Chain A
Amino acid sequence: KQEVTQIPAALSVPEGENLVLNCSFTDSAIYNLQWFRQDPGKGLTSLLLIQSSQREQTSGRLNASLDKSSGRSTLYIAASQPGDSATYLCAEYQGAQKLVFGQGTRLTINP
């Protein structure tokens, strides 16, 4: 059974800091991995999708990496802002389409 684990469960940092969110998975034959953001009471917003042949993806202040050999992915957020406060979820593709989600990291950026 595929499992996805996110550490830490919650993180609080001052505004302006760079930070890293961690995601680990048990399936070394990972297909794709996707990072999402969820605001309270809202749906999910896709941040970055890393396909199995890729090592990282970047979008603005966000950079996601994928290391299949170690079963890890990281989401790096540069120069954090209060608006970055949300829950961040990583999800592994089980086969071509089905997603298995981690429990998420609740991020709070303090002004």
Chain B
Amino acid sequence: GAVVSQHPSWVICKSGTSVKIECRSLDFQATTMFWYRQFPKQSLMLMATSNEGSKATYEQGVEKDKFLINHASLTLSTLTVTSAHPEDSSFYICSATWTGDYGYTFGSGTRLTVV
């Protein structure tokens, strides 16, 4: 149980376009979802926390107008990278947690390359 599906696993886009990444909890209702960013050979940095039906909480230094997060249901959160630039190229990972227990389940990640 507790599976998080993340799509796409990789995407290449042109500079200036927008890209949407989906994160779905398959067998549980995710009260909270998290979006992380990981640069090569570095650890994960939390970008934002989203709760179903409310606005996301962004970490300091993360542009909320550039990284749009929507958590419209208890099983789906999306991250949209708007007007992507090469410096946005990175590995993006979502995770979800649920009530009744403590622990995280992570998606498989999305490799974004902006050319």
Contact = CB atoms under 8 A, between A and B. Distances in A.
Interface residues of B, number: 22
Dominant SS at the A interface?
strand
Bin the interface of chain A by size.
20 to 34
The 9 residue pairs across chains A and B that have the minimum distance between CB atoms: A44-B106, A43-B108, A43-B109, A101-B43, A43-B106, A103-B43, A101-B44, A49-B103, A43-B107
Interface of B: 6, 32, 34, 42-46, 49, 91, 93, 95, 97, 102-109, 111
Contacts of B32: 97
B105 A42 contact: no
Interface in A44-84: 44-46, 49, 51
Contact of A98 (B49, B106, B108): B49
